[in-house]
Each structure stands twice: as structure tokens, then as C-alpha cells.
Structure 1
Amino acid sequence: MQVERLKLNYFRNYESLRLAPGGGLNVIFGENAQGKTNAVEAVFLCAFGRSHRTPRDAELISSGMSGAYVGLDVMTRAGSRSVEVKLRDGERKQLFIDKAACERSGELMGVLNVVMFSPEDLELVKGGPAERRRFLDMELSQFRPAYYFALQRYNKALRERNALLRPEAVKERTGEALRRELYVWDEQLITLGADIMQRRAEFIGKLAAIAARLHREISGGRESLALAYDPNVKPNGGGLEEAFADALYGGVAEDIRRGYTNSGPHRDDVAVSLSGGSVRTFGSQGQQRTAALSVKLSELELLREDRGEPPVLLLDDVLSELDELRQRALFEAMHDCQSFLTCVSLEGLKRAGMDMSNIPAFLCKNGTLTAV
């Protein structure tokens, strides 16, 4: 999978950009706050229909402008595809695949597969459960677009159920009437939630095996990494639907008391442990970085296996966070991938042993990219 052309108009600090990247590593370097991350953000936007930095699309439009445009052409093993994102201030963004308008952002999933490495990856092991759920949801959506749509429907049903649990809504209804209305949303949550939990369990099972192997290689066999799906709803001997139904029906009183739904995959987590201990609690900074890198590299390998071609890699200012051993592991993993790497200067790459003579490099300054 390879981005052949990237076009930006009034996106962030780019007034206009026309970029034809190389098929391997592409380096975007320059001082901070010049637009390096904005360039890789544009590629991410075309993969997921959203920014990895902000939920507010208005922030993506250049200051003082009413709209922005991001478009790219990508070559896949199935042929050439195009993705376009049109942003207008105060309006819903418009998405296009091969010039045809998308009704839902989920239609983008799988058109352009990307894996992003950034300093924030450390939150995968240091952060709270929401960070790991976000990782699960974004990656599973690339693998299985049907998962994305199930998740969207689940979240909609969850919002409706939670609205009924607000104190003002509870006061307006008798106990029996409230339970009847909750039951309507319970039925949807149970069916969709069981599907989400099943897919998450399968995904983590595959990811865990790869991550454990990669971590052994990176650590020289000194440590063992384990990932385990930690569902909020525990299996009870029956099926997932039965377990979720028991949790919802048995927890109604507590849900009413708290004003929101306490059970379900929206409260799942992934346990990350190193030689039996929690990486989040007991891991050193170096151990946490290695664990996070192993998880991201396993994502790359799993996508490569599943889709039959490597994804596009977005490497945003990550080399400064990695020692020589971890840099080498990353470079080895990206050997067959098109990559966009941002950094302050080329010297760090040269010190890492990278021959820059045949690698496209672009100097980023004030929202412009100049080949050097």
C-alpha cells in the first residue's frame, strides 16, 4: 500500500501542498511548529476520517479561512483509490472515495490502512482504560469495517439508555415505564455488545502472540510481555449475550442510582503485564516504551498478514524517544512499508546508521515542504 499523491489546501498551516512521496521511507524534517505533524495528520485523516489530535474539525482549517481540502491517491494491491476530505467551517465534513460521496465515515475503513507511531503511544501502557479501548477500536475498524458500524450503533444505543437514566428522566417515569423503555435499548446493547466483545477477544488473542514474540526479540529474551483482554462483563458459563443480559438486568437499580450504564464493553480494558507484573504500575520508563513499541509493531505485522500488503507507517517524532536497540527494531519492521517520518534534523538518522543518499527528504518550514 502506497500513497502516490497528497494534496492540501488551507489545511492547518499549509496554504497549498502537492506532494509525490517515494515508495519507501520519506523524511520530513525541520524546526518545531513548522507543520511536520500536520502533514502526517492529513494522511491519518484520510484513513480514519478524523484527526488523531483533535475531535474538532474546525481546528484543521487554516486561520481566517472558511474551508480546507485534503486529498490523496493510494495504490493498493486491488488498484488505485482516491480519498478526499472537504471541510467547511460550521458544516459537517464531506468524505469522498473514488470521487463518490460517503454517507458514513465508516466507509473509509480499510481503504487506506495506516499504523501511527508517536510519543503518545506510551499512553497505551501508562494511560487509563479509555486509551486502550481507543486503540482497540481504531485498529479493529481497519481490520473489520463491520466492527466500526457495530460500535457506532452500540454507542448510539448506549447514549439513549444513559439519557433515560438521568435523574430528570427517571423522575418523569414510573418504575415500570422506565424499565420498559430501558429494555428496548438493553436488547440492542446485548446483541451489539456481545459481538464487540467477541471481536475484541479474538483480536487481542492474535495481537498478544505477536507482541510477546517481538518483545522477546527486542529485550533479548530478558522479559516476557503479555496482553490479555479484560472485559467488563465476565463470561458466566453461558454465552456472551447471556452474561451481558444478566449484568444489565441485574444492575438496573445501581444504574438508576448512578445515572449511567455501568456494565458493557464501553468499560473494557486490556491488561499489559511484563514478567507477571503490571507494566503500568511497576514498569520503568524504558520498559514501558519497549512494551508500547512491541504492541505497535505487532499491529503492523498483523495488518500485513491480514490484508496481504503492508500498511503505510506514520512516524511522528518517535526516534528521539527510542534508544538504538528500539530504533533498530523499528527500522527492521518497516523494511517493506511506505513510511513518513518526522524529525528535527537528518543528523539523528545518520547517527542511527541510515544512508540518506537515496531517501526522499523534505525540509518543512512555515507550512511548505521543499525536497533537499
Structure 2
Amino acid sequence: MFLEKISLSNFKNYEEATYTFSPQVNCIVGENGSGKTNLLDAIYFLALSKSSIHHQDALNINHESEFMLIDGIFNKKDRTNQITCSIQRGQRKILMHEKKPYERISEHIGQFPVVLIAPDDTELIKEGSEDRRRFFDGVLAQMDNEYLNDYQQYNRILEQRNSLLKIFADRNFIDQDLLDTYSDPLVKLALRIYKQRRSFVDTFLPIFKKHYLVISEGREEVEIIYESEVASGEFPQEFRLNRQTDVRAQRTTKGIHKDDYVFEIDSYPIKKFGSQGQQKSFVMALRLAQFEMIETLKETKPILLLDDIFDKLDDRRINSLIESINNNTFGQVFITDARPERTQKILEDVKAEVKYFTINHKHKPVDF
């Protein structure tokens, strides 16, 4: 599977642009601020119907415009698939396959999988549990549409229950039966999502450890510990007994939205005790394990997006990456870099077809 072509209209700092890509390696170079990362984000958006950077869709529309459009052609198993995504300010996002709107956007997720490796990936380690949940939920969503539907439904009911709790707190009154209409399905979904996450981590962990072992050359042991209140066999009862606490807090204080994934190195939190190099190796192994799991389940190689990574990786890790490209570990690869001479030097030993683009301020591709 690969992306043949993409056209952008009013997407971030792109007014109008069209690019035709190599099915193997594509290098996007240009000055900082020229739009290299935005082009990768457009590919990510087309594949997953959302930005990797902005959580609000409207923020992806060019400041001076009222709409944005991304149109692309994916080649999957020798068949072309036209995917179009458009957003009008103040209106719902429209996603189409072959010019026919999806009934549910979730049907699209996982059809054209991507894996993004970006400079801020170490935030998975440094920031709070929400970032780690978002990462693992994103992997699961591309792999399992049932999980995605359960997760979306859980969040809808959670939002409704939280709104109800605020009303109860304001009125100093609780309608137990009404609360049950939200609490009961929320608990059922939480138990189901917990089992899905637990099963996923059990499969993901040995793959992740294998990749870390290669990257670090076996220097230390790493671990991912999945923590969840739902793991308790008494969770339904505990959830019900927590009602007064929820009303006082005006939000749901127990559930899978409180889960965390603890990252350890040699039995210590990598956030506190891991060096910068160890943290980079950790997140690189996370992404490579994500790639392998999606490839195995979907029987196709995800598109790999590498955003400005040459500044963040040492020579050993870069050589390992080039070796993986030469071994056909990856399918289509996109690489951004602000220094074209460095990119050319790094990729001079790559056996795959490499196509270069220079992004200038008019956002038109220039081959060199």
C-alpha cells in the first residue's frame, strides 16, 4: 500500500499544492517553517481523518479561508482508492471514499494505516497519562474497528454523564434512576475496553522489547506496566459506591479514562532515570512495535512518516534505520529534513527509489 498523489487546498499554510510520490522513499526538504511537517500532517489526516497536531479540525484551515480540502489517491493491492476530506468552518467534517461519503468516519480508520515518528515523541514519557492513553488508543483504533467503536461510545456516554453530574451538583439533588441510564452502559464498556487493552499490551510487549533490544544493543531491560482501576474484580460495585464523590467532583472519577501505562527501564521509571538516548530508544521501539503489529494484523505495511528525526538520532540509530529500509522492513517512507545535503548523504546508500521534494514558500515541489 502507498500514497500515489495528494492535493491540498487551504490546508494550514498551503493554499494550493499537488504532489505525486514515489511508492518507496520520499524526502521533503526545506527551511524551517516552510511547511514540511504540515505536508506529513496532511498525509496523516487523510489516513486517519484527523491531524496529529491539532485536536480541533478547524485549526487546520488556512487562516484566511473558510474551508480546507485534502484529496489523495492510495494504491492498495493494485487498486486505487480516492479519499477526500473537506471541512467548512462551522460545519461537520466530510470524508469520502471514491466521492461517496462514509456513513461513519470510523469505517475509514485502519483502511490506510500510517505510523508517525516525530521529534516530540518523547512527550509520551515526559507528560501525563493522557498522552500515553492517546498513543495506545491510536494504535488499537487502526487495528480493531470494534475497539474504536467501543472507545468512541464510551467517551460519548462519559461526556453525557459528566454533564448530568454537574446538573446534580448545581441542584443538590441526584436522580439515581436517571444516573443509572448512563452508569450501567459506561461500566459495561469500561470492562470490555479494559479486556481489549489488556490483551493488546500482552501481545505488544514482547514485540516492543524485541525492538528495544536491537536499538539499545541489549544494554538494559525495559517494561510497560498497564495500570487500570477496572482490573479490580469489584469495579462495578466500586463505581456505584463512588457516586457521591463524582457529584462533588462534577465528573466521573473512576473508569478506563484514568488508565495509565507505566514505562520502566531496569525496574525504574524511565521518566526520572532514563537518559535522553534511552528515552529516544524507548519511543523508537514503541513506534516500530506499532508498525509491526499493524502490518501483521492488516497484512500490509503502514506508511511510515519520519518528521525531522535526523536531528534527534545519533549515527548508530540512523544506520539502523537505513538498514531497515534496505531490508524492505518498511513500505512507503516519508522523511522531512531542513538540511537537504545531510539527507542526501544519509540516503546515498539506500537501495530503494528515492524522490526528493523541496518545499519553498509557494509550496511547490522542486526535484533535485
Residue 161 of structure 2: SS of its match in structure 1?
helix
Q: Tell me which residue corresponds to 1:216.
A: 213
Say if 2:336 is the partner of 1:345. Answer: no
Counterparts in 2 of 1:104 and 1:133: CA distance versus 1, 3 Å: same
Aligned partner of 2:271 in structure 1 is 280
**CA shift in 2, pair 1:164/1:63, >3 Å:** closer
Maintained 8 Å contact 1:6/1:72 = yes
1:153-302 map, 5 Å:
153-166=153-166, 168-172=167-171, 174-175=173-174, 177=175, 179-236=176-233, 243-302=234-293
Shift of the alpha carbon at 1:351?
Answer: 4.3
**Aligned counterparts, 1:33-182, within 5 A:** 33-77=33-77, 79-166=79-166, 168-172=167-171, 174-175=173-174, 177=175, 179-182=176-179
Find the counterpart in structure 2 of residue 239 from structure 1.
Answer: none
Structure 1 residue ranges, 4+ long, deviating more than 4 angstroms after superposition: none
**Deviation sequence 1:298-320 (CA, Å, 0-9, x none):** 10111111111110011111121
Q: Which residue number in structure 1 is paired with residue 354 of structure 2?
A: 359
1:186-232 residue CA offsets vs partner (Å, 9 max, x unmatched): 11111111111111111111111111111111111111111121113
Number of corresponding residues: 363
CA spacing shift, 1:354–1:194, aligned 2, 3 Å: farther
Unaligned runs of 5+ residues in structure 1 are 237-242
* Matching residue of 2:16: 16
Aligned to 1:4: 4
Give the partner amino acid of 2:240.
Y
Deviates more, 1:346-355 or 1:102-111: 346-355
Gaps of 5+ in 2: none
**In structure 1, C-alpha distance between the alignment counterparts of 2:345 and 2:78, rounded to whole Å:** 38
Give the distance between the partners of 1:21 and 1:122, measured in 2 at CA: 29
Is 2:6–2:73's contact at 8 Å kept on the other side of the alignment?
yes
The residue aligned with 2:365 is: 369
**TM-superposed deviation, 1:169:** 2.5
**Distance in 1 (alpha carbons) for counterparts of 2:91 and 2:113:** 27
1:142-187: CA deviation from partner (whole Å, max 9, x where unpaired): 0011211111110111111111222x43343644x2x222211111
The CA distance in 1 between the partners of 2:357 and 2:347, in whole Å, is 19
Q: Assess if the C-alpha contact under 8 Å between 1:10 and 1:68 holds in 2.
A: yes
Distance between the aligned counterparts of 1:93 and 1:250, measured in 2? 40
Q: Secondary structure at the match of 2:81?
A: strand
Does the Cα contact within 8 Å between 1:28 and 1:36 map onto a contact in 2?
yes
Asked if structure 1 preserves the Cα contact closer than 8 Å seen for 2:72 and 2:84, the reply is: yes
Distance 1:325 1:126 in 2: 24
Residue 249 of structure 1: how far off its partner (Å):
0.9
* TM-aligned CA distance change 1:333 to 1:226, over 3 Å: farther
What amino acid is the match of 1:370? V
Distance 1:306 1:331, change over 3 A: farther
TM-score (norm 1): 0.93
* Superposition RMSD in Å: 1.8
Aligned to 2:319: 328
The structural deviation recorded for 1:69 is 1.2
**Deviation per residue, 1:104-149 (Å, 9 max, x gap):** 3212111210000001111112211000010011111100112111
Amino acid of the structure 2 residue aligned with 1:365: N
Quick one: distance in 1 between partners of 2:12 and 2:41? 10
Percent identical pairs in the alignment equals: 28
Shift of 1:353: 5.5
Q: For residues 196 and 47 of structure 1, what CA distance do their matches in structure 2 show? A: 24
CA contact (8 A) 1:205 1:228 kept: no
Tell me, in whole angstroms, the C-alpha distance in 1 between the residues paired with 2:252 and 2:188.
16
